[in-house]
Amino acid sequence: MTSAGIHHITVLASDPQRNLDFYTGFLGLRLVKQTINFDAPDVYHLYYGDEAGTPGTILTFFPFLDAARGKRGAGEITAVAFSIPTGALGFWIERLSRKAMAFDGPHTRLGQNLIAFEDPDGMVIELVEDADVDDIPGWAESAVGAAPAIRRFHGVTFLQRELDRAGAFLTGVMGFASEGSEANRFRFHAGPAGSHARADVLVDPHAPVARQSAGSVHHIAWRARDDEDQLSWRSALVKAGSSPTQVMDRSYFHSIYFREPGGVLFEIATDPPGFATDETIDTLGSHLKLPPWLEAQRAMIERHLPPLAIPAVQRAREAGG
């Protein structure tokens, strides 16, 4: 079995308004869904992505107000990379420079040019020039404009103390293929040619143990075509000695969770039903959405959530503008 690639990535954050302003205003992503952490209803769950909320573009956050910063270390994802079109790197360097934001690069890694910088909570973001996305149109209403806009995930970096178990799990259980290496970075990919999702294992035998909090990647979700495909994955994981959870209803997808040998939390999430089940494509992200089993508690939940000013373009959509 092999996954079609990344479904979404979920990160811990602190201030929800600052998070929203950065990812929509600076990075130019769309707020796809405002909902809550189903396990902590006083905390938002914010989803960002492309115009339609396509799997493979979705970055989500649990913003715990006033949370301290996490500490990067072994057993976690330490960088999230997005694909941008060829030639767009100059735009982003200029944009970061105008904002007086520190960045690293540009560098060439495994034949591709990239820069790296941190979000307000310290999560490392990489922007990679990727010829495979040159023909994918950017979102016309992005805060950065369509041409240089982020198209989708390029991949992630796992920090591990050794390669063998992580690499064997990716190739032997998850169906990834080895793509190459550079120094202590080993790249694997999944998904069809032209839309690979990359998983880089960065090996440091002396890396400290990660401490997760704001700025830490909580988990990564890989795509399943549908419920049947997900159940096949679950059976295969059990046979491989893993311990996946039962299927959980996350309203916009169904999920199972398990850990790879190095400790990173994996999820397998279904593509359907998608984010347009309770909003139209035009109005995605315009309203706070709750799962049906929490709708009766809406008034109490809204009282405990901090106010959130949604982006102007989405306010205009809500008003029919």
In this prediction, residue 310 has a pLDDT band, given cuts at 50, 70 and 90, of: confident
pLDDT digits 0-9 by tens, 49-82: 999 999 999 999 999 999 999 999 999 999 999 9
Do residues 125 and 80 make contact, with C-beta atoms less than 8 angstroms apart?
A: yes
pLDDT the model gives residue 196: 86
pLDDT digits 0-9 by tens, 153-209: 999 999 999 999 999 999 999 999 999 999 999 999 998 887 889 999 999 999 999
Q: What is the pTM of this model?
A: 0.95
140-151: average pLDDT: 96
Token pair for 176: 């990834």
Q: How far apart are CA 205 and CA 161, in angstroms?
A: 4
Q: How far apart are CA 230 and CA 54, in angstroms?
A: 18
Q: Which helix (H) or strand (E) holds 203?
A: strand 197-203
The DSSP bridge partners found for residue 256 are 268
Task: Count Cβ atoms below 10 Å from residue 178 Cβ, excluding itself.
Answer: 12
> Of 199, 90, 104, nearest to 144 (Cα)?
90
The letter for the amino acid at 77 is: I
Output the CA torsion 94→96→97→103 (10° steps).
-110
The letter for the amino acid at 152 is: R
Three-class DSSP category at 318: helix
The DSSP bridge partners found for residue 113 are 108
Q: Which fold has domain 6-318?
A: 2,3-Dihydroxybiphenyl 1,2-Dioxygenase; domain 1 (3.10.180)
Rg (CA), the chain: 19
The letter for the amino acid at 258 is: F
Phi-psi region of 2 (alpha: psi -120 to 50; beta: other; left: phi over 0): beta
Q: How far apart are CA 249 and CA 291, in angstroms?
A: 9
pLDDT the model gives residue 320: 45
Three-class DSSP category at 50: coil
Do residues 30 and 283 make contact, with C-beta atoms less than 8 angstroms apart?
A: no
